[in-house]
Structure 1
């Protein structure tokens, strides 16, 4: 019974890659040419140790409704409510300044 050795991970620009990643994408097997670039794309890089997540996906990470795609959760509604209230306050201040 042999154990699988864990691959070493390096951090480049806040993204985790496996250590056997080439120095540049041009040296990678999946690099086509300068015009086409990588056939996998940055989101599907072969050497990614973990998936790259957007800010919205990070918010929905623990949400039970976020299966497959980000949802509109309570956190999202709270942020939207804060934004709407700030917009209303700014609008009221502008109208008050214009009237007064």
Structure 2
């Protein structure tokens, strides 16, 4: 991952048996392992904003389940239009299912 984009932040939880690497330069993974050791799992999740990743995965799962695993258009402009329409449809479905709350007192 670091070879493709050195600025990318990897938020994959290391295994409970993970140990820091033997290299002299600490990696992101080593930082995650140290954070897990210092603050615990929930502290690490707060530090890395892990909930945001989970919400993005849920949104993509919902998109794929309702609209299909892959775009049906062949060329990128058509794929972009298809994705925009799909997102608009999902947003409309979410708005239709959301209750209208009214404050009484």
Give 1 or 2: higher strand fraction.
1
- Bigger share in helix: 2
Larger Rg: 1
Per the normalisation by structure 1, the TM-score is 0.32
